[in-house]
Amino acid sequence: MTTSESTLTASAVPAPDGYRQGRPDRARQESISIIRKRAGLRTRLRRDRSLVLMTLPAIALLLVFAYIPMLGNIVAFQDYSPFVGIPDSPFVGLDNFTRVLGDQGFWHAVTNTLVITAFQLVFFFPIPIVLALLLNSLLSPALRSTIQAIVYLPHFFSWVLVVSVFQQVFGGAGLLSQSLRAQGWQAVDVMTNPDTFLFLITSQAIWKDAGWGIIVFLAALSAIDQEQYEAAAVDGANRWRRMWHVTLPALRGVVILLLILRLGDSLSVGFEQLILQRDAVGAQASEVLDTFVYYTGIRNGDWGYAAAAGLIKGVVSLALILGANKLAHLFGESGVYSKS
C-alpha cells in the first residue's frame, strides 16, 4: 500500500528472516508447532483447510498485482510497443540495458536519488530521535499525548496536500514572501528554486513524517528501566551523563536497525512528492529514478527502455535490502526484538 510506513516497515522486515531460519516464534508456541508439524500432510490440510482458505484472497491479489507484473518485466528485453503487444514485440536482448547504462539522464537520476537519500539521512533521520527525547522528558502525560497527536497528524496528509501547504507558506505568494514584502524586503520563492530544492523536499519530509517517526523511539525509551536512571543518579551522573550512558545505549539497537533499513531502501525517494514539484524546479534538480521511469516509459512511450531502468532499480534495491539485512544481523538485530 502506498502508505507503507518506512520506519515501521523497517522494524517489520527482519521478521521473515527469523522465520526462514527456522526459529519461528516465541518459545511457548514452539511445542505446538512441533506437534503440528508431526501430523501428516493430509491431516494437516484437512485440519487447516479454513486457515489456508482465509489466505487465498490475499494470495490471489498478490499473484495478480505483484507477481504477474514481475513477469511483465520481460518487456525490458523487448522493443515493446503496447500497440503490438508482448507476444509480437521484437526481442532485443540486453539492448535496453546497455542504452540505459550509457544514458547520462539515467545516471543523473541515480545521482539525484542518492544525494537526496544521503541528505535526508543526515538531516531528517536524527530529528525524530531528538523529538522523542524531548517528549519523553515531559512530565505531564496529558501534554505529552496532546503534542504527540499534533505531530503525528501530517503523516496522514497526502503529498498533494503537503506540497499545497508548503506552497501557501513558502511559495511566491505565500506567508513568508508576504511578510518579507510587508517589511519592504525582497520576496523569495523557495518552491521554485532548484538550488534549494534539496532543503525544500527534506523539510517537507520532516514536516510530514518526523512526528510519526518518533513512535518507535518513544517505545524504546519507555522500555528503559527507570531504576537504571536512579542508579546512575545515585552514582552522581548528571543529566547529560545519564543520557549518554543509559538513554542512548538503549536506543542504539533501534537506530542501527532503522539506519540500515533506510540504506536498503535508498533508491526510493518520494515519487509523488517529486513529481508534483518537477515542473516548478525542473528535471535537473528533481529527476530521480522513479520519475525517470515514468517520464521515459509512460510519457515518452519508450516502454522497454523504462522497464529496463525500473528493473535495474528493482534488482539493485533487492541486493541492498538483503545486504542491509545481513548488516542488521551483524549488529545484533535480536537486540531490537528482545525488548518485547
Partner 1 sequence: MRRKKSSRPAWEEEPGAAAKISKAAVLTLVVISVLGPLYSIVLTSLSSQSTITSAGGMVIVPGEITLDAYRQIISGGVVTRAVLVSVGVTAVGTLLSMVVSVLCAYGLSRPGSFAHTPILFTLLLTMFFSAGMIPAFLLVSGLGLINTYWALILPSAISVFNIIILRGFFMGIDRGILDSARIDGASEWRILGQIVLPMSKAVTAVIALFYGVGYWNAFFNAVLYINDSAMNPLQVVLRSYVLQGVMIPGQIAVGQGAAPSLALQMAVIVVAVVPILMVYPLVQKHFTKGVMIGAVKG
Partner 2 sequence: MLGNNASPERSASLKELGRTGVGRRSFLSLVGGAVAFAALPALTSCSSGGGAPQATTSAGMADATSKLVPSYIPLDTVKPDIASVNGTAPGFTSIPSTLVKSVQGVPGKGGSYTVMTPAWWAIPQADNSYYQAVNERLGAKLNFQVSDGNTYGDKIQTVLASPKDVPDWIVIPSWNIPPRFGQAVKGLFTDLSPYLAGDKIKKYPNLANIPTAAWKYSCFEGGLYGLPFPNEQVGNAFFYRKDLFDEMGLEQPKSADEYIAVAKEITDPAKNRWGSEDVWTGAQLMHGVDNWKLVDGKLQSRFESDEYRAALEWGAKLYASGAVHPDAVAGNTQKMGQRFGSGASLMTNDGVGGWHGALGLNLPSNPNFQMQPMDFFAPDGGKPTLFRGSPAAIFSFIKKTDDRAKVEEMLALADFAAAPFGTEENMLIVNGVEGIHYTRDAQNVPQATAKGKAEVTSTYAFLVNSAVVNNQVQYPGYVKAKTDWEIRQAPYVVDPLFYGLQIQEPSKFGSLGKPFDDLSKDILRGRKSMSDLDAAVATWKKNGGDELREFYAGFLNA
List the interface residues with partner 2, window 231-270 (CB under 8 A).
none
Quick one: which of 1, 27, 83, 102 contacts partner 1 (CB under 8 A)? Answer: 1
Residue 44 engages partner 1 in binding (rule: CB under 8 A): yes
The count of C-alpha atoms lying within 13 angstroms of the C-alpha of 20, restricted to the half-sphere facing its C-beta, is 5
The residue from 138, 189, 245, 320 that contacts partner 2 (CB under 8 A) is 189
The residue from 114, 188, 275, 283 that contacts partner 1 (CB under 8 A) is 275
Residue with cell 509480437: 88
The sign of the torsion formed by the CA atoms of 156, 159, 162, 168 equals negative
Q: Of 323, 313, 213, which Cα lies nearest the Cα of 263?
A: 323
**Residue 194: all three cell numbers together:** 532548484
Q: Which stretch binds partner 1 (CB under 8 A): 98-106, 113-121, 127-135, 244-252?
A: 127-135
- Amino acid identity, position 88: D
Percentage helix, strand, coil, to 5, in the chain? 75, 0, 25
Q: CB of 269 within 8 A of CB of 116?
A: yes
Cell of 60: 490471489
Q: Which of residues 279-298 bind partner 2 (CB under 8 A)?
A: 279-285, 295-296, 298
Per CB under 8 A, the list member of 101, 118, 223, 330 interacting with partner 1 is 223
Instruction: Identify what 14 binds: partner 1, partner 2, none; CB under 5 to 8 Å per kind.
Output: partner 1
Q: What is the x/- site pattern for partner 1, positions 173-212, by CB under 8 A?
A: xxx-xx--xx------------------------x---x-
Give yes or no for residue 127 binding partner 2 (CB under 8 A): no
Rule CB under 8 A: which of 193-212 touch partner 2?
194
Letters for 60-99 (x = contact with partner 1 by CB under 8 A, - = none) are -xx-xxxxxxxxxx-xx-----x---x-------------
Nearest to 273 by CA among 78, 124, 100: 124
Which one of the spans 101-109, 113-121, 167-175, 193-201 is the region binding partner 1 (CB under 8 A)? Answer: 167-175
Residue 320 binding target from partner 2, partner 1, none, CB below 5 to 8 Å by type:
none
Which run of H or of E encompasses 176? helix 175-182
Asked if 285 contacts 190 with a C-beta cutoff of 8 angstroms, the reply is no
